[in-house]
Chain A
Amino acid sequence: MVHVSVLLDFYSKSKTYIIEPSEKLILLLRKTAMIEVYNLWKQYQRPNWALSGISMKIEKGDFCFITGPSGSGKTTLLKIFYREILPTQGQILIDQRNILRIPDHKIYILRRMMGIVFQDFRLLFHKKVFDNIAIVLRILGVPKKEIRRRVFYSLRMVNLHNKMWEYPKHLSYGEQQRVAIARAVVNNPKIILADEPTGNLDTELAFEIMNLFKRINKKGTTVLICTHDRELIRHYGEKIFFLYRGKILRKEYL
Chain B
Amino acid sequence: MSVPVEFYMVLSGLVFIIGLVGVLVRKNLIIILLSIELMLNATNINFVAFSSHFGNLSGQVFVFFALTVAAAEVAVGLAIIIALYRHHASINVDDFRLLKW
Does B bind A? Answer: no
List residues of chain A with CB under 8 Å of any chain B CB.
Answer: none
